[in-house]
Chains A and B, each alone.
Chain A
Amino acid sequence: MSIVGTRVVRVEDEKLITSGGTYVDDLREAALTGAVHAVFVRSPIAHARISGIDTEEAKQAPGVVAVFTAADLDLAPQQTGPVTEPFLATDVVRYVGEPVALVLTEERYQLADAAELVDVDYDPLDAVASIDAALSGETELFPGGGVTGNVMQVNGAEEFDDAVFADCDAVVTQTILNPRVAPASLEVRGGSVAWGEDGRLTLWLSTQNAQIARTTVAGALGLDEERVRVIAPDVGGGFGAKIGADPEASVLGWAARAVGRPVRWTESRSENLTAMSHGRAQQNTVTIGGKRDGTVLAYRIDVVQDSGAYPRAMFLPTLTEMMAPGVYRFPVVQTRSRCVVTNTTPIAAYRGAGRPEATAAVERAMDLFAAEIGMDPAEVRRVNFIRPEEFPYTTPTGGDYDTGEYAAALDKVLAAAGYAELRAEQELRRVAGDPVALGLGIAAYVEITGGDASGESGRVDIHEDGSVTAYTGSSPHGQGLATSLAMLLSDQLGVPLAKITVKHGDTDEVPRAVGTFGSRSLQLGGSAIRQAADEVIAQARELAADLLEAAPEDLELDTERGVWQVRGAPSSTTLDWARIVASAESTALSADVWFGDGKPTFPFGAHLAVVEVDTETGKVEVRRLVAVDDAGPVVNPLTFRGQRHGGLGQGIAQALLEVVNYDEDGNPTTATLADYSFVTATELPDFELVDMATPTTRNLLGVKGIGEAATIGSTPAVHNAVVDALAHHGVRHLDMPATPMRVWAALNDVRKAN
């Protein structure tokens, strides 16, 4: 029986549960002996001109090795969108948390003492602390320099044609905030650097992509890539915010050369919450119109992306536009997007990256439309779903959907949840005037994984002892990919898991790779490993043919026993892998491939959230979350479900709890984990997962990505549930996160209006 598709505990866990992982701060490598410790002095002001930096007192503090400012650096300028993002601030700081100086000390405990002594004179400027402030253009972040009126990139329509809504019975417009959140990986950012006597730089970095980081750092330092080695040790979560290398990494490399010693850096959580990129931060205005029978005739979304102070990820709103119509066969879809700069932490990818924003908008829009025409939200969705026979399906916004069973997904969820019974209970409570209202929220979603379509590397070696080493370009950091890849190889080669090692994250071992983001790893990295194993099997077939004196096509690999034999003659001579390798000219069979034709895939699903809202206090409790997340065939249900659980947790958190806030001067008010409402175990329900698996034709494994899917579905499901709970009071919309005060205020508003 194949191991693929069965529940397998992870090969990664033994170390993690006994001695703990080896994260950057845990490294005790000889190369780091004598390292100095680093801390970045960061701007406490959102927008200011720097009139002077005095480092003298800091340089005299105990243990201080060096203090560097922008004036010391000679790094290649770092182009971020249309602007240059300084490694250390030069004349102007543009967000609280922007690095201004670097302090190096002998001991870790001396860092904070010395950093306090770096004296920076700031002349405050007006802060642009919100999207509205940015659009007003009253204060510009880059006057005369690349960004006019704080708006950087405009996609889509200059003006919308309202005629597309002319035939509609009902049209609803709503501005929907998708609030800024903090990725908040539990391990903060960190890096250690050492220059070798050979003039090579080794950088241990908490990153999702060692190879991209190598390119970035080599470019900043003006080095050939061969002279930089990046190693991702165990990484304590990334969620999109650890893609590649942040500017700090290049500064560390420069500083280590400047002082001639290795350098170690681990940021604090307070730094992390202001200086690691944030996610989401969109303001979307949707208009939806259609017939009273539920048919939507036209949908419009106008996206404004807050890019923060430096636009590191202008692709985000483009993805939002592409995924705008979601799972629906809307005949007309109008989109526009704009990116604006603000005096806030830069925005980049966060679990879902552009797609959750699209889903949140269209799923709220569907509920608003359903409410407008008085139809059950499930029914409105059914009317508009793209039908199974329509795949492959190209949307008006360029989505090239592979496969989908959208109605089936929703039906499965509603059946599992007992939707009709829940609606009946809701009605009973309403009639009884129960102050604890029940809300049901539906979200149907489709997303895109492996969307960058740039492929991935994979190498498989079979050694003389019959053991296997796989080198993947993916860079897992908790997803359990090493287990999944080992399972695939075990299945394909007939080698037990215990004899398979999966390596990743070291540019010397895996020189070519893209890495992990966008839920790409299994479909691209897994396909690459499959392809490499196919090539090794082809090599082995030739060798086995020689040894058994048979035609290659007459041989088969018995994957139950891990032996080659003549087809149809199982009792004949068999050859195990060790014997095959022994006959080869080298010490291992090896194939090193690039799986490059992997087109994007489109996972989908449906979620139902059941919430209770205490209408006296405004507090929302999630009672149930029932989910279908269809990402094709499942390699390991244990880790597959784990990815869904994690996504659900983060998605629910965004709907109810988590938000990064700034005051009007651009000061963050959520800069510690005491202030940022990171979701805990007490705020989440046990999850109810429903299985469904619709394969794709677009890669060798038939799989789609699962890393982000559940995040995307759960946020609008919970959001819709909160509004649904309050619908009988007249509430039509409220923005996320649905904090108690916001719910209470929404109820107050409708009471006053009535």
Chain B
Amino acid sequence: MIPAEFSYRRASTVDEALALLAEHGEDAKLLAGGHSLLPLMKLRFAAPEVVVDIASLDELKFVRLDGDEVVIGALSRYHDLHGDPVLAEHAPLVAHASGAVGDPQVRHRGTLGGSLVHADSAADLPAVILASDGVLVARGPAGERRIPAAEFFLGPFTTPLEPDELLTEVRLPSQAGLGWGFEKFTRRNIDWAIVGVAVVGRSVGLINLGGTPLRAAATEKALADGASADEAAALAAEDTSPPDEPHASAEYRRHLARVLTRRALLAAGIA
């Protein structure tokens, strides 16, 4: 299986990438690690006319501290994030979850930004960034804009990014000292999560419980009101519409959400 024909362009700067996007509009797709886009193209579920390779934009590969914020370049690979010393201290949930994505080969290519803009609700990092109160920074012809994660995941594979915009970085409040937990439930280690739960502090993100990554609002409210982990976790599936599939029904996913949320809360030190 090979992709339909397209024209390959490699951008060497962010501005060059933006210029190519401006030129080709909706006919173009950005290629970072390529581990969301190329599989779709090989199965011909996607067939862009122009592919703009941004993998060599070193200016978007970094993790740094900016005051109380951790700033992660959009082209940072999972492999790099998993071993990053700044994240280990200030966003250990992100580091840990990055090590759980796919397999080593995928982690050598896949990027944080690629995962976020692909906006697959079954992916791990969107829910992690959502739970982390992340802010996504995009650049376009009109300059830069900041989009809170809570406003970024609009629907399945849908974000507010325009075709001529490029995600450049993600900013998170430092999580140093906060408890965290990450529960990813799969049949095989390499599978996408049937359900996943990411907890940091008292924020709870849900993987694959609906068309977008979600916050477990009822659980978070209960925690704020002083509920125990058991009590709060029992509410984890409130207001969710999980996928209903032969190998994992919606009812089963709701059940898993409750079990995994309890486990993640306990891991985060919430009793």
Contacts and interface: CB of A to CB of B under 8 A. Distances in A.
A552 B39 CA distance: 70
Contacts of A663: 246
Interface in B220-271: 246-249, 252, 255-256, 259-260
- Looking at B185, B189, B191, B247, the one whose CB has the most chain A CB atoms below 10 A away is B247
A682 B187 contact: no
B1 interface: yes
Contacts of B1: 112, 268, 270
Interface in A704-754: 739-741, 744-745
Nearest to A674: B39
Contacts of A268: 1
Given A112-B1, A741-B252, A744-B255, A661 B187 contact: no
B259 A682 contact: no
A289 to B, nearest CB: 35
Interface string A607-647: 00000000011010000000000000000000000000000
Given A113-B4, A268-B1, A744-B255, A683 B188 contact: yes
A672 B43 CA distance: 10
Contact of A619 (B44, B185, B249): B185
Contacts of A616: 259
A495 to B, nearest CB: 45
B142 interface: no
B81 to A, nearest CB: 21
A39 to B, nearest CB: 11
A572 interface: no
A677 B188 contact: yes
A741 B188 contact: no
B44 A741 contact: no
B190 interface: yes
A533 interface: no
Contacts of B246: 661, 663, 669
A741 B185 contact: no
Contact of A677 (B4, B5, B187): B187
B189 A682 contact: yes
Contacts of A617: 185, 256, 259-260
Given A268-B1, A617-B256, A680 B249 contact: no
Interface string A665-689: 0000100100001011011000000
A313 interface: no
Contact of B188 (A109, A116, A657): A657
A683 B252 CA distance: 22
Nearest to A745: B252
A614 to B, nearest CB: 9
A109 B259 CA distance: 48
Contacts of B259: 616-617
A744 B252 CA distance: 8
A444 B62 CA distance: 58
Interface in A99-151: 109, 112-113, 116
Contacts of B185: 617, 619, 740
B188 A112 contact: no
A683 B247 contact: no
Interface in B82-103: none
Nearest to B256: A617
A650 B152 CA distance: 43
Contacts of A683: 188-189
Interface in B190-214: 190-191, 194
A30 B130 CA distance: 58
Nearest to B190: A680
Contacts of B260: 617
A268 B43 CA distance: 11
Contacts of A109: 2
Contacts of B187: 619, 657, 677, 739-740
Nearest to A675: B247
A741 B190 CA distance: 18
Contacts of B190: 680, 682
B181 to A, nearest CB: 15
Interface in B1-38: 1-2, 4-5
A741 B189 contact: no
Given A680-B188, A682-B188, A741 B247 contact: yes
Contacts of B191: 677
Contacts of A679: 188
Nearest to A113: B4
A672 B187 CA distance: 16
A90 B1 CA distance: 26
A741 B2 contact: no
A741 B248 contact: yes
Contacts of B255: 744
Contacts of B194: 740
B263 to A, nearest CB: 9
A669 B248 CA distance: 13
Most chain B CB neighbours (cut-off 10 Å) among A616, A679, A741 = A741
A436 to B, nearest CB: 12
A712 to B, nearest CB: 23
B197 to A, nearest CB: 12
Contact of B249 (A657, A669, A741): A741
Nearest to A661: B246
B265 to A, nearest CB: 14
Contacts of B248: 741
Contact of A680 (B2, B189, B247): B189
Q: Which one of A109, A268, A616 has the highest number of Cβ atoms from chain B below 10 Å of its Cβ?
A: A616
B45 to A, nearest CB: 12
Nearest to A619: B185
A739 B188 contact: no
B110 to A, nearest CB: 15
Nearest to A616: B259
Interface in A258-282: 268, 270
A172 to B, nearest CB: 29
A135 to B, nearest CB: 22
A657 B191 CA distance: 12
Contacts of A741: 247-249, 252
A111 to B, nearest CB: 9
A384 B189 CA distance: 40
A607 B44 CA distance: 45
B203 to A, nearest CB: 23
A679 B43 CA distance: 23
A113 to B, nearest CB: 7
Contacts of A677: 187-188, 191
A616 B189 CA distance: 18
A740 B191 CA distance: 14
A739 B247 contact: yes
A676 to B, nearest CB: 11
A112 B255 CA distance: 42
Contacts of A661: 246-247
A435 to B, nearest CB: 10
Contacts of B256: 617
A359 B177 CA distance: 56
A109 B194 CA distance: 35
Interface string B125-153: 00000000000000000000000000000
A653 to B, nearest CB: 10
A274 to B, nearest CB: 14
A608 to B, nearest CB: 24
Contacts of B188: 657, 677, 679-680, 682-683
B253 to A, nearest CB: 9
A677 B194 CA distance: 13
Interface string B105-125: 000000000000000000000
User: 4 smallest A-B Cβ distances: which pairs?
Assistant: A682-B189, A741-B252, A616-B259, A268-B1
Given A109-B2, A682-B190, 18 more contacts: A112-B2, A112-B44, A113-B4, A268-B1, A270-B43, A617-B185, A619-B187, A657-B187, A661-B247, A669-B246, A672-B43, A677-B188, A680-B189, A680-B190, A682-B189, A683-B188, A740-B185, A741-B248
10 contacts: A619-B185, A661-B246, A663-B246, A677-B188, A677-B191, A680-B189, A680-B190, A682-B188, A739-B247, A741-B247
